[in-house]
Amino acid sequence: MVWTWKKEEHLDLILVPLGFFIMCTYHLFLLHRYLKHPEFTAIGYENNNKNAWVNKVLLVEPKDRGFALAVLNGQLSASTSLSSISLVLCSLIGAVLGNSSNNYLTGRFIFGDTSQYTSAIKYMMILSFFLLAFACFVQTTRHFVHASFVISMPAGDVPVECIQKAVIRGGNFWAVGLRALYFATVLLLWIFGPIPMFVGAVATVTILHFLDVNKEPMIRYGSSKSGNGGGLLKRIEEEVSSVVAGFEHNGRT
């Protein structure tokens, strides 16, 4: 039996796995670099700033932390919007997949495999990454809501590590959700053929490489060893001042 080369049909077997391999390899390299040398990645640089932000926020009295809640609410709004968009796109893809027989995109202008089996694989992969993005953005919302509750806790000695962990985890889920959207966007190009998908994968990796590299030195912030130590010291100072003022008043009388 002689294997015959069909240019259009077998182009998907070469370019699509190659483009997917390029994106997966880049993100594995980025993960390794983030775990070993976070100072050279934009994610590690941002996490360092987030840790310092939590430290400085806890130096403020709980009643004056409205600005911190506003920052977290902005992140919550963004993650909620993206999760809703991902869910809507999942519903649309599911509807298209259920009515794939009337798919007008698989016409003769697409240079690649246009069989129903390949089309089903396309939509299933796109649907999987949109579902992954939705799950990550939901977890982002969960962690930032938890951070908002802890930051707004009145008259509590909040461990700084507790809030830092919630903020960092929320940011990490946010980053993974965005990466899932990048994968889904590249796979959407596969609907128009393997060549646009491969070109999109190479272009995405090239752009992300410049965005993910950090060339700025890590900012060394002063750290507080207790959660709300600055606020506690301020209260002690106010109490001591009031006691001293009371003694002076009694001495004069």
According to the model, what pLDDT value does residue 236 have?
Answer: 52
Residues 141-146, mean pLDDT to the nearest whole number: 91
Look-up of token digits 């491969």: 198
| pLDDT of 114 strictly over 60 | yes
The encoded tokens of residue 209 equal 């490489």
- Beta-carbon contacts of 197 under 8 Å, excluding residues fewer than 6 positions away, are 15, 16, 19, 186, 187, 189, 190
Q: Which tokens belong to 140?
A: 């982002």
How far CA 240 is from CA of 106, 226, 235, in Å, comes to: 78, 21, 9
Q: What was the pLDDT predicted at 178?
A: 94
Least confident residue range of 82-86, 110-114, 205-209 = 110-114
Q: Which two tokens stand for residue 19?
A: 């483009």
Residue 44 pLDDT: 92
pLDDT computed for residue 12 by the predictor: 82
**Which pLDDT band, with edges at 50, 70 and 90, does 240 fall under?**
low
Percent of the chain with pLDDT over 70: 75
pLDDT for the residue 56: 85
Q: Worst-scoring range by mean pLDDT, 6-20, 71-85, 127-141, 238-252?
A: 238-252
| Six-digit token string for 8 | 């259009």
Q: What is the pLDDT of residues 158-192, one digit of tens each?
A: 788 888 999 999 999 999 999 999 999 999 888 88
Cβ atoms < 10 Å from Cβ of 3: 6
**Per-residue model confidence (pLDDT) at position 246:** 57
Give the model's pLDDT for residue 29.
95
Higher pLDDT, 112 or 102: 112
Rounded Cα distance, 51 and 172, in Å: 13
CB-based contact 55:221 (threshold 8 Å):
yes
pLDDT at 129: 93
pLDDT computed for residue 228 by the predictor: 47
Least confident of 11-25, 150-164, 203-217: 150-164
Give the chain's radius of gyration (CA, Å).
26
Q: Which pTM value belongs to this model?
A: 0.79
Confidence of residue 203 (pLDDT cuts 50, 70, 90): very high
The secondary structure of 31-70, three-state, reads HHHHHHCHHHEHHHHHHHHHHHHHHHHCCCCHHHCHHHHH
Q: Find the range with the poorest average confidence among 77-86, 124-133, 137-146, 156-165.
A: 156-165
